[in-house]
Structure 1
Amino acid sequence: MTTTYAALLRGINVGGKKKVPMAELRNILEELGHGQVRTYLNSGNAVFTSASRDPDALAAELAAAIEERFGFEVACMVRTGPYLRSVLDACPFPAEELAGKQLHATFFAGPPVTAERFASIDASAYLPEEFRLGDQVLYLYAPDGLGTSQLAAALSRPGLLKGVDETSRNWNTVKALVEMTRAAGDAQAG
Protein backbone atom coordinates (compact mmCIF):
# COMPACT_ATOMS: atom_id res chain seq x y z
CA MET A 1 0.00 0.00 0.00
CA THR A 2 1.35 3.40 -0.94
CA THR A 3 0.50 6.92 0.15
CA THR A 4 0.31 10.01 -2.04
CA TYR A 5 2.42 12.96 -0.91
CA ALA A 6 3.30 16.48 -1.96
CA ALA A 7 6.84 17.76 -1.45
CA LEU A 8 7.16 21.50 -0.86
CA LEU A 9 10.67 22.87 -1.32
CA ARG A 10 11.56 26.26 0.09
CA GLY A 11 13.44 28.97 -1.76
CA ILE A 12 14.52 27.23 -4.94
CA ASN A 13 14.68 28.80 -8.40
CA VAL A 14 14.18 32.29 -6.98
CA GLY A 15 16.35 35.08 -8.34
CA GLY A 16 18.70 32.64 -10.05
CA LYS A 17 19.71 31.04 -6.76
CA LYS A 18 19.45 27.44 -5.63
CA LYS A 19 18.52 26.21 -9.08
CA VAL A 20 16.79 22.83 -9.08
CA PRO A 21 15.37 21.99 -12.49
CA MET A 22 12.04 20.21 -12.16
CA ALA A 23 13.25 17.37 -14.39
CA GLU A 24 16.08 16.80 -11.90
CA LEU A 25 13.67 16.94 -8.97
CA ARG A 26 11.55 14.27 -10.65
CA ASN A 27 14.68 12.16 -11.26
CA ILE A 28 15.73 12.45 -7.63
CA LEU A 29 12.32 11.36 -6.37
CA GLU A 30 12.27 8.42 -8.78
CA GLU A 31 15.83 7.43 -7.78
CA LEU A 32 14.64 7.43 -4.17
CA GLY A 33 12.11 4.78 -5.20
CA HIS A 34 8.96 6.87 -5.36
CA GLY A 35 6.27 6.47 -8.00
CA GLN A 36 3.87 8.61 -10.02
CA VAL A 37 6.20 11.60 -9.73
CA ARG A 38 4.91 14.89 -11.12
CA THR A 39 6.03 18.45 -10.54
CA TYR A 40 4.02 21.66 -10.53
CA LEU A 41 5.44 24.98 -11.68
CA ASN A 42 9.14 25.70 -11.30
CA SER A 43 9.01 26.60 -7.63
CA GLY A 44 9.58 23.31 -5.87
CA ASN A 45 6.30 21.44 -5.79
CA ALA A 46 6.20 17.72 -6.48
CA VAL A 47 3.62 14.99 -6.02
CA PHE A 48 4.60 11.34 -5.65
CA THR A 49 3.56 8.04 -4.14
CA SER A 50 5.60 6.12 -1.59
CA ALA A 51 5.36 3.03 0.59
CA SER A 52 6.77 5.09 3.47
CA ARG A 53 4.39 6.23 6.20
CA ASP A 54 6.76 8.87 7.59
CA PRO A 55 6.50 12.29 5.88
CA ASP A 56 9.32 13.74 8.00
CA ALA A 57 11.69 10.94 7.02
CA LEU A 58 10.74 11.45 3.36
CA ALA A 59 11.46 15.18 3.68
CA ALA A 60 14.86 14.52 5.28
CA GLU A 61 15.72 11.95 2.60
CA LEU A 62 14.77 14.37 -0.18
CA ALA A 63 16.71 17.25 1.39
CA ALA A 64 19.81 15.05 1.69
CA ALA A 65 19.51 13.89 -1.93
CA ILE A 66 19.16 17.47 -3.17
CA GLU A 67 22.18 18.59 -1.15
CA GLU A 68 24.21 15.67 -2.48
CA ARG A 69 23.20 16.40 -6.09
CA PHE A 70 23.40 20.20 -6.08
CA GLY A 71 25.68 21.08 -3.16
CA PHE A 72 23.28 23.30 -1.23
CA GLU A 73 20.68 22.85 1.49
CA VAL A 74 16.98 23.15 0.74
CA ALA A 75 14.27 22.97 3.35
CA CYS A 76 11.78 20.30 2.28
CA MET A 77 8.36 19.52 3.68
CA VAL A 78 6.32 16.49 2.74
CA ARG A 79 2.58 16.44 3.32
CA THR A 80 -0.03 13.78 2.58
CA GLY A 81 -2.81 14.37 0.08
CA PRO A 82 -5.47 14.16 2.85
CA TYR A 83 -3.60 16.74 4.92
CA LEU A 84 -3.52 19.16 1.98
CA ARG A 85 -7.22 18.54 1.42
CA SER A 86 -7.87 19.35 5.10
CA VAL A 87 -5.96 22.64 4.69
CA LEU A 88 -8.18 23.50 1.74
CA ASP A 89 -11.38 22.50 3.56
CA ALA A 90 -10.48 24.34 6.79
CA CYS A 91 -9.72 27.68 5.14
CA PRO A 92 -11.22 30.39 7.36
CA PHE A 93 -11.53 32.84 4.47
CA PRO A 94 -14.08 32.75 1.62
CA ALA A 95 -11.56 31.12 -0.72
CA GLU A 96 -14.02 30.65 -3.58
CA GLU A 97 -14.70 34.40 -3.63
CA LEU A 98 -11.05 35.46 -3.62
CA ALA A 99 -8.45 35.53 -6.37
CA GLY A 100 -5.90 32.76 -5.88
CA LYS A 101 -3.06 35.21 -5.35
CA GLN A 102 -4.88 37.06 -2.55
CA LEU A 103 -4.86 34.02 -0.30
CA HIS A 104 -1.75 32.14 0.83
CA ALA A 105 -0.92 29.17 3.00
CA THR A 106 2.32 29.02 4.93
CA PHE A 107 3.17 25.47 5.92
CA PHE A 108 5.23 24.82 9.06
CA ALA A 109 7.59 21.99 9.94
CA GLY A 110 9.01 21.44 13.36
CA PRO A 111 7.43 22.13 16.72
CA PRO A 112 3.71 22.96 16.75
CA VAL A 113 3.06 26.60 15.89
CA THR A 114 0.58 28.21 18.27
CA ALA A 115 -1.04 31.64 18.49
CA GLU A 116 1.41 32.65 21.23
CA ARG A 117 4.14 33.02 18.60
CA PHE A 118 2.15 35.81 16.98
CA ALA A 119 0.96 37.60 20.14
CA SER A 120 3.24 40.57 19.45
CA ILE A 121 1.51 41.33 16.15
CA ASP A 122 -1.33 43.84 16.32
CA ALA A 123 -3.45 42.28 13.58
CA SER A 124 -5.85 45.25 13.51
CA ALA A 125 -2.98 47.49 12.35
CA TYR A 126 -2.76 45.57 9.07
CA LEU A 127 -6.43 45.43 8.05
CA PRO A 128 -7.80 44.59 5.54
CA GLU A 129 -5.00 42.00 5.55
CA GLU A 130 -5.65 39.14 7.96
CA PHE A 131 -4.16 35.85 9.10
CA ARG A 132 -5.48 32.78 10.87
CA LEU A 133 -3.74 29.68 12.18
CA GLY A 134 -4.73 26.14 11.26
CA ASP A 135 -3.11 22.74 11.71
CA GLN A 136 0.59 23.56 11.14
CA VAL A 137 -0.47 26.13 8.55
CA LEU A 138 -1.02 29.87 8.55
CA TYR A 139 -3.66 31.29 6.23
CA LEU A 140 -2.90 34.81 4.99
CA TYR A 141 -5.35 37.05 3.20
CA ALA A 142 -3.42 39.77 1.35
CA PRO A 143 -5.85 41.53 -1.01
CA ASP A 144 -3.07 43.39 -2.85
CA GLY A 145 -0.81 40.34 -3.12
CA LEU A 146 2.04 38.92 -1.09
CA GLY A 147 4.73 41.15 -2.59
CA THR A 148 3.28 44.32 -1.06
CA SER A 149 1.83 42.80 2.09
CA GLN A 150 2.90 44.57 5.27
CA LEU A 151 1.34 41.79 7.35
CA ALA A 152 3.38 39.15 5.51
CA ALA A 153 6.52 41.15 6.32
CA ALA A 154 5.53 41.31 10.00
CA LEU A 155 4.77 37.59 10.09
CA SER A 156 8.18 36.74 8.63
CA ARG A 157 10.31 39.02 10.80
CA PRO A 158 13.42 37.38 12.24
CA GLY A 159 12.92 35.43 15.43
CA LEU A 160 9.16 35.07 15.19
CA LEU A 161 9.38 31.55 13.78
CA LYS A 162 12.74 30.62 15.27
CA GLY A 163 13.26 26.85 15.08
CA VAL A 164 10.43 26.36 12.57
CA ASP A 165 10.89 25.76 8.87
CA GLU A 166 8.17 27.31 6.74
CA THR A 167 7.25 27.71 3.11
CA SER A 168 4.36 29.55 1.50
CA ARG A 169 2.15 28.79 -1.48
CA ASN A 170 -0.57 30.87 -3.07
CA TRP A 171 -4.07 29.43 -3.03
CA ASN A 172 -3.96 28.47 -6.71
CA THR A 173 -0.96 26.27 -5.98
CA VAL A 174 -2.58 24.74 -2.90
CA LYS A 175 -5.66 23.84 -4.96
CA ALA A 176 -3.49 22.41 -7.76
CA LEU A 177 -1.52 20.24 -5.32
CA VAL A 178 -4.74 18.94 -3.77
CA GLU A 179 -6.00 17.99 -7.23
CA MET A 180 -2.67 16.40 -8.18
CA THR A 181 -2.54 14.29 -5.02
CA ARG A 182 -6.17 13.25 -5.53
CA ALA A 183 -5.45 12.27 -9.15
CA ALA A 184 -2.35 10.29 -8.13
CA GLY A 185 -4.36 8.50 -5.45
CA ASP A 186 -7.12 7.72 -7.97
CA ALA A 187 -4.59 6.40 -10.48
CA GLN A 188 -3.04 4.24 -7.77
CA ALA A 189 -6.43 2.83 -6.77
CA GLY A 190 -7.38 2.14 -10.39
Structure 2
Amino acid sequence: MTAYVALLRAVNVGGTGKLPMTALAELCLSAGFVQVKTYIASGNVVFRSDGSEEEVRTALERRLTAHMGRPASVLVRAASEMAQTLARNPFPQQPANRVMALFFDGAPPSDPLEGATGVQGEEVRLGQRELFIFYPDGMAKTRLRLPAEKTGSARNMNTVAKLAAMAAAIA
Protein backbone atom coordinates (compact mmCIF):
# COMPACT_ATOMS: atom_id res chain seq x y z
CA MET A 1 0.00 0.00 0.00
CA THR A 2 1.10 3.54 -0.72
CA ALA A 3 0.74 6.46 1.65
CA TYR A 4 -0.89 9.45 -0.03
CA VAL A 5 -1.72 13.07 0.70
CA ALA A 6 -4.90 14.46 -0.86
CA LEU A 7 -5.40 18.21 -1.15
CA LEU A 8 -8.92 19.37 -1.87
CA ARG A 9 -9.15 22.24 -4.30
CA ALA A 10 -11.82 24.94 -4.06
CA VAL A 11 -13.79 23.07 -1.41
CA ASN A 12 -14.84 24.96 1.70
CA VAL A 13 -14.44 22.46 4.53
CA GLY A 14 -15.70 24.58 7.43
CA GLY A 15 -19.03 26.00 8.49
CA THR A 16 -22.64 24.97 8.06
CA GLY A 17 -23.58 23.26 4.82
CA LYS A 18 -19.98 22.74 3.84
CA LEU A 19 -17.74 19.69 4.01
CA PRO A 20 -16.59 19.01 7.58
CA MET A 21 -13.36 17.10 8.02
CA THR A 22 -15.27 14.19 9.58
CA ALA A 23 -17.27 13.85 6.35
CA LEU A 24 -14.05 13.99 4.33
CA ALA A 25 -12.60 11.17 6.44
CA GLU A 26 -15.78 9.12 5.98
CA LEU A 27 -15.63 9.62 2.19
CA CYS A 28 -12.03 8.38 2.21
CA LEU A 29 -12.96 5.33 4.25
CA SER A 30 -15.87 4.58 1.88
CA ALA A 31 -13.36 4.64 -0.99
CA GLY A 32 -11.44 1.85 0.74
CA PHE A 33 -8.59 4.01 2.00
CA VAL A 34 -7.09 3.05 5.37
CA GLN A 35 -5.27 4.88 8.17
CA VAL A 36 -7.19 8.02 7.21
CA LYS A 37 -6.18 11.18 9.07
CA THR A 38 -7.25 14.73 8.33
CA TYR A 39 -5.24 17.84 9.08
CA ILE A 40 -6.70 21.26 9.88
CA ALA A 41 -9.99 22.33 8.38
CA SER A 42 -8.68 23.20 4.95
CA GLY A 43 -9.10 19.99 2.97
CA ASN A 44 -6.00 17.98 3.78
CA VAL A 45 -6.10 14.23 4.32
CA VAL A 46 -3.52 11.45 4.46
CA PHE A 47 -4.23 7.75 4.02
CA ARG A 48 -2.98 4.50 2.53
CA SER A 49 -4.35 2.84 -0.59
CA ASP A 50 -3.53 0.06 -3.03
CA GLY A 51 -4.68 2.29 -5.89
CA SER A 52 -2.57 4.40 -8.20
CA GLU A 53 -2.52 8.18 -7.84
CA GLU A 54 -5.08 8.48 -10.66
CA GLU A 55 -7.35 5.81 -9.14
CA VAL A 56 -7.20 7.51 -5.74
CA ARG A 57 -7.95 10.93 -7.22
CA THR A 58 -10.86 9.62 -9.30
CA ALA A 59 -12.41 7.70 -6.41
CA LEU A 60 -12.23 10.67 -4.06
CA GLU A 61 -13.43 13.21 -6.64
CA ARG A 62 -16.46 11.03 -7.48
CA ARG A 63 -17.41 10.71 -3.82
CA LEU A 64 -16.93 14.42 -3.16
CA THR A 65 -18.99 15.36 -6.23
CA ALA A 66 -21.82 13.02 -5.19
CA HIS A 67 -21.70 14.27 -1.59
CA MET A 68 -21.57 17.97 -2.46
CA GLY A 69 -23.76 17.97 -5.56
CA ARG A 70 -21.17 19.81 -7.63
CA PRO A 71 -17.82 18.95 -9.23
CA ALA A 72 -14.89 18.69 -6.83
CA SER A 73 -11.19 18.62 -7.59
CA VAL A 74 -8.47 16.80 -5.66
CA LEU A 75 -4.70 16.86 -6.02
CA VAL A 76 -2.91 13.73 -4.83
CA ARG A 77 0.72 13.17 -3.89
CA ALA A 78 2.50 10.07 -2.67
CA ALA A 79 4.17 10.52 0.71
CA SER A 80 7.60 10.47 -0.96
CA GLU A 81 6.65 13.25 -3.40
CA MET A 82 5.28 15.43 -0.61
CA ALA A 83 8.59 15.00 1.25
CA GLN A 84 10.48 15.90 -1.95
CA THR A 85 8.35 19.03 -2.36
CA LEU A 86 9.31 20.10 1.14
CA ALA A 87 12.98 19.44 0.39
CA ARG A 88 12.83 21.42 -2.89
CA ASN A 89 11.58 24.59 -1.18
CA PRO A 90 13.76 27.29 -2.76
CA PHE A 91 13.07 29.69 0.13
CA PRO A 92 14.17 27.66 3.19
CA GLN A 93 15.42 30.73 5.09
CA GLN A 94 12.06 32.52 4.78
CA PRO A 95 9.23 32.09 7.30
CA ALA A 96 7.37 28.91 6.36
CA ASN A 97 3.99 30.63 6.67
CA ARG A 98 5.03 33.09 3.93
CA VAL A 99 6.09 30.45 1.42
CA MET A 100 3.42 28.58 -0.49
CA ALA A 101 3.56 25.52 -2.68
CA LEU A 102 0.92 25.80 -5.39
CA PHE A 103 0.25 22.20 -6.43
CA PHE A 104 -0.89 21.03 -9.88
CA ASP A 105 -1.87 17.69 -11.44
CA GLY A 106 0.82 18.12 -14.08
CA ALA A 107 3.74 20.40 -14.72
CA PRO A 108 3.37 24.03 -13.66
CA PRO A 109 3.27 26.72 -16.34
CA SER A 110 6.73 27.39 -17.74
CA ASP A 111 6.23 31.14 -17.24
CA PRO A 112 4.06 31.43 -14.14
CA LEU A 113 4.19 35.24 -14.16
CA GLU A 114 2.73 35.50 -17.67
CA GLY A 115 -0.62 37.21 -17.22
CA ALA A 116 0.03 37.85 -13.51
CA THR A 117 -1.26 41.00 -11.89
CA GLY A 118 -0.45 42.81 -8.67
CA VAL A 119 3.18 41.71 -8.41
CA GLN A 120 4.72 43.60 -5.46
CA GLY A 121 7.97 41.89 -4.57
CA GLU A 122 6.68 38.32 -4.39
CA GLU A 123 9.07 35.71 -5.75
CA VAL A 124 7.91 32.72 -7.79
CA ARG A 125 10.02 29.61 -8.54
CA LEU A 126 9.21 26.56 -10.62
CA GLY A 127 9.00 23.16 -8.99
CA GLN A 128 8.18 19.82 -10.58
CA ARG A 129 4.39 19.69 -10.13
CA GLU A 130 4.21 22.86 -8.07
CA LEU A 131 5.16 26.50 -7.95
CA PHE A 132 6.83 27.97 -4.89
CA ILE A 133 5.77 31.49 -4.00
CA PHE A 134 7.37 33.71 -1.36
CA TYR A 135 5.10 36.46 -0.05
CA PRO A 136 7.41 38.92 1.80
CA ASP A 137 4.44 40.77 3.35
CA GLY A 138 2.31 37.65 3.85
CA MET A 139 -0.59 36.32 1.82
CA ALA A 140 -3.16 38.52 3.57
CA LYS A 141 -1.56 41.66 2.13
CA THR A 142 -0.66 40.42 -1.34
CA ARG A 143 -2.32 41.62 -4.52
CA LEU A 144 -0.56 38.97 -6.60
CA ARG A 145 -2.88 37.01 -8.86
CA LEU A 146 -1.44 34.22 -10.96
CA PRO A 147 -3.47 32.62 -13.77
CA ALA A 148 -2.22 29.23 -12.50
CA GLU A 149 -4.13 29.69 -9.23
CA LYS A 150 -7.29 28.68 -11.13
CA THR A 151 -6.08 25.09 -11.52
CA GLY A 152 -3.83 24.61 -8.51
CA SER A 153 -4.23 24.35 -4.76
CA ALA A 154 -1.85 26.14 -2.39
CA ARG A 155 -0.52 25.14 1.01
CA ASN A 156 2.06 27.00 3.08
CA MET A 157 5.28 25.23 3.96
CA ASN A 158 4.18 24.64 7.56
CA THR A 159 1.26 22.63 6.21
CA VAL A 160 3.43 20.87 3.61
CA ALA A 161 5.86 19.86 6.38
CA LYS A 162 3.07 18.56 8.63
CA LEU A 163 1.43 16.60 5.80
CA ALA A 164 4.78 15.14 4.75
CA ALA A 165 5.40 14.01 8.33
CA MET A 166 1.91 12.56 8.73
CA ALA A 167 2.21 10.64 5.45
CA ALA A 168 5.70 9.39 6.34
CA ALA A 169 4.36 8.11 9.66
CA ILE A 170 1.89 5.78 7.91
CA ALA A 171 4.11 4.85 4.94
- What TM-score comes out, normalization by structure 2 length? 0.89
Query: Is the Cα–Cα contact under 8 Å of residues 12 and 18 in structure 1 kept in the other structure?
Result: no
Query: Is the Cα–Cα contact under 8 Å of residues 75 and 165 in structure 1 kept in the other structure?
Result: no
1:188: which partner in 2?
Answer: none
Q: How does 1:1-190 map to 2 (within 5 A)?
A: 2-13=1-12, 16=15, 19-52=18-51, 54-93=52-91, 95=92, 97-110=93-106, 112-121=107-116, 126-127=120-121, 129-151=122-144, 153=145, 155=146, 160-161=147-148, 165-185=151-171
Gaps of 5+ in 1: 186-190
Percent identity between matched residues is 32
Query: Deviations 1:88-123 (Å, cap 9, x if unpaired)?
Result: 111111x2x33222111100124x323235345599
Q: Read off the aligned partner of 1:107 and give its amino acid letter.
A: F
Partner Cα distance (1:101, 1:116) in 2:
24
Query: Is the Cα–Cα contact under 8 Å of residues 6 and 181 in structure 1 kept in the other structure?
Result: yes
Partner of 2:28, secondary structure, is helix
Count residues in correspondence.
Answer: 171
Q: Structure 1 residues 117 and 18, CA, compared in 2 at 3 Å: closer, same or farther?
A: farther
Partner of 1:42, secondary structure, is coil
By how many angstroms is 1:73 displaced?
A: 1.9
Root-mean-square deviation over aligned CA pairs? 2.3
Q: Read off the aligned partner of 2:12 and give its amino acid letter.
A: N
By how many angstroms is 1:67 displaced?
A: 1.2
Query: Deviations 1:138-159 (Å, cap 9, x if unpaired)?
Result: 00000221122133x2x1xxxx
By how many angstroms is 1:13 displaced?
A: 2.3
Partner of 2:104, secondary structure, is strand
Partner Cα distance (2:22, 2:117) in 1:
43
By how many angstroms is 1:18 displaced?
A: 7.0
Query: Is the Cα–Cα contact under 8 Å of residues 26 and 39 in structure 1 kept in the other structure?
Result: yes
Partner of 1:57, secondary structure, is helix
Partner Cα distance (2:100, 2:42) in 1:
15
Partner Cα distance (1:16, 1:28) in 2:
18
Partner of 1:58, secondary structure, is helix
Query: Is the Cα–Cα contact under 8 Å of residues 8 and 77 in structure 1 kept in the other structure?
Result: yes
Q: Read off the aligned partner of 1:126 and give its amino acid letter.
A: Q
By how many angstroms is 1:44 displaced?
A: 0.3
Gaps of 5+ in 2: none
Partner Cα distance (2:42, 2:161) in 1:
15
